[in-house]
Amino acid sequence: MRIEAISDTGLVRKGNEDSFLINKALGLFAVADGMGGHEAGEVASFLAVKTLETAVRDSKGREGALEAAIKAANQEIYSQAQQKSSLAGMGTTLTAVYYQEDGISIGHVGDSRAYLIRDSQATLLTRDHSLVAELIRSGQISEEEGKNHPHRHVVTRALGTEPEVEVDMLFPGVKQGDRLFLCTDGLSNLIKSEEIAQTVDQAAAPEQALELLKQMALERGGFDNLTALLIEF
């Protein structure tokens, strides 16, 4: 297994509120996109990946460990936001992959994404928890209209905004040669799934693929922080 990651502030935001996690020993990988005033978003995404890591390590691989760890992260962020006025209202997305001998589990909250890249195609595994995604799914707007919708950054589910959170759990079957691609919406809002697959396929190495995708997003405006993580099996 080979894992590479990239993160960039972009061209508009002053700071980077994204976080990512690579823990090969645990088989745990994640991206998180924080939100909130001042530095609260940065705090939320950092707490998400750190609490996730600690909780999974403490679980010693028990069944349901990833979902329980994500819920623990939610409680930690929510608790911190209640205690400190400067952190009030903070939250974060979280998309995490947990690799164990008996298979892979993905836990997901928010609008960061996980794609499976196989046979030169990138298949979106996760479902965006966002206002625009819900409008598209219900047929009220088209995907094209969603790209420029004024509320395209509004998430309907995040870690830390409520005392409890529902976690989407996925269990994709992967085989040798497959790749998992995790990213925040600073990248997925600007780059299509077929472009992700093509870039990953044609690049000489994972780090080159990530650099090319970052440059592509920046050339298209770089309106948000962007983070991506590529796992090769």
Instruction: Report angle CA 191, 33, 161 to the nearest 5 degrees.
Output: 135
Cβ atoms of residues 155 and 35 within 8 Å: yes
104 or 39, which is more confident: 104
Residue 30 domain boundaries: 2-232
Identify whether the C-beta of residue 169 lies closer than 8 Å to the C-beta of residue 107: yes
The domain spanning residue 90 has which CATH number?
3.60.40.10
177, two tokens: 């040669």
On whether the pTM is more than 0.85, the answer is yes
More confident residue, 141 or 108: 108
C-alpha closest to that of 41 among 66, 68, 14, 23: 14
End-to-end CA distance of the chain: 5
Q: pLDDT digits over 127-165, tens only?
A: 999 888 888 788 888 777 777 777 777 899 999 999 999
Provide Rg for the chain, Cα atoms: 17
Q: Name the residue type at position 34.
A: G
Task: Give the tens place of pLDDT for each residue, 14-70.
Answer: 999 999 999 999 999 999 999 987 789 999 999 999 999 999 999 988 889 999 999
Contact of 138 with 91, CB cutoff 8 Å: no
Q: Are the C-beta atoms of 52 and 30 separated by less than 8 Å?
A: yes
- Cβ distance 113 to 104 under 8 Å? no
Percent of the chain with pLDDT over 90: 84
Dist. CA 83–CA 195, nearest whole Å: 43
For position 187, what pLDDT does the model report?
Answer: 97
Burial of 153 (0-12, 13-18, 19+ CB in 10 A): middle
Question: For residues 221 and 23, is the Cβ–Cβ distance under 8 A?
Answer: no
CB atoms within 10 A of CB 231: 24
Number of domains present in the structure of the chain: 1
The per-residue pLDDT for 7 is 98
